[in-house]
Amino acid sequence: MTAFLGNLLGKLLKFVYDIVSNIGTEPEKFSYYAMAIIITTIIFKLILLPISLHQSKSTKKMNDLQPKIKEIQNKYKNDPQTQQAKMMEVYKENKYNPMSGCLILLIQFPIIIAFFKVMGNPVTFAFKDPQVYAAMNKSFLWIANLENPDPYMWGLPLLAAATTYLQSLTMSAAATADPQAQATQRTMNIFLPFMIFFAARGFAAGLALYWVISNTFQVIQQLISNRSLGKIKEETR
């Protein structure tokens, strides 16, 4: 499945590269390859946008239902069957599917893995000809070759960690009000950026560039989504 998706996304990367490489003169420090990665990442995120927005709405609705759910859990803590039945009634009344969040993640996961594979092995999935790929300029600002890790840990690795942290914060704003879930989210807010930082120091800078652009898009999208959902909630009061 991921190989099939990888080939599709690889064709998209090659298509974008062919377009940008025919526009003007290639800047010495900002290669067509870097441009193609950035543009393809944005297109990729736009393709996933409807799924991401649905996930944000699902998370917001679950957050709104949390007080009722906690009340039912406390009231029927010694009667699991009744507790489950009452919770399903609340879900049905509010047209909420508790499995929707998991289904959305299951849809996104293989697509994200496939795109990550494309960025990690562009010859196999996108450019096909190793000689053509080897001859391409792959520079990006201070990075001479996006195939190699960023030589400066304050560069893309730090940006990857920072954007991961910002993304976690914006997602926390729409997260469930459950204390246990909030505690888990706070731990992830700290742990995940560090993990991404050390990982980005070791893998190709092209992957780190993809991660930074993807996170930046996600942060902007989440901020707009949080604001829009907040306005909708205020209007319905």
pLDDT in tens, 197-231: 998 898 889 989 999 999 999 888 888 877 765 55
Is the model more confident about 236 or about 81?
81
What type of residue is 34? A
67-77: pLDDT as tens digits: 788 888 787 77
Residues 161, 193: contact at Cβ < 8 Å? yes
- pLDDT at position 234: 47
Gap between the Cα atoms of 43 and 19, Å rounded? 14
Computed over every residue of the chain, the mean pLDDT equals 82
Gap between the Cα atoms of 70 and 66, Å rounded? 6
The number of angstroms, rounded, from the C-alpha of 60 to the middle of its chain's C-alpha atoms is 18
Nearest to residue 217, comparing CAs of 209, 229, 206, 228? Answer: 209
Residues linked to residue 81 through DSSP beta bridges, in sequence order: none
> What is the chain's Cα-based Rg?
21
Is the model more confident about 85 or about 96?
85
Is the predicted pLDDT of residue 29 greater than 50, yes or no? yes
Gap between the Cα atoms of 104 and 55, Å rounded? 7
